[in-house]
Homo-oligomer: A and B are copies of this chain.
Amino acid sequence: MKRLDLLVNERELELLLKRLEQVGVPGYSVNRHVTGRGGSGTVVSEAMEFSGFGANAHVIVFCDSSLLEPLAAELKPLLKTYGGVAYVSDAKPL
């Protein structure tokens, strides 16, 4: 099985989760209020959460490797438009 780590802005989270459900992942976990710095150098901080900026969300998906291809097809355009990163590692159930 695989583990997919997604880091996107909280504002795009709804869109992303909808895509995950379309692809049919068995589940996902979301950690909001994540901060960071990305390729563009933009710093995301909790201090701006009160504003229209929000912070980042970290989405973790454990799923079968067969889902990676459809996930890439669904998610890459989203990441390209709104920013964010996606990484895959190996994982297996305990």
Chain A residues proximal to chain B, CB less than 8 Å: 1, 3-5, 7, 17, 21, 26-39, 46, 56, 58, 60, 62, 68, 71-72, 75-76, 85-94
Further contacts, 15 of them, CB under 8 A, given A3-B87, A5-B91: A3-B89, A5-B60, A7-B29, A27-B36, A29-B58, A30-B34, A30-B35, A30-B36, A31-B34, A31-B58, A71-B94, A87-B93, A87-B94, A88-B93, A89-B92
By secondary structure, the A interface counts as strand
What CA separation (Å) do A26 and B37 show in the bound complex?
8
8 Å CB contact of A56 from B17, B21, B29: B29
Residues of B within 8 A of A92 (CB): 87-89
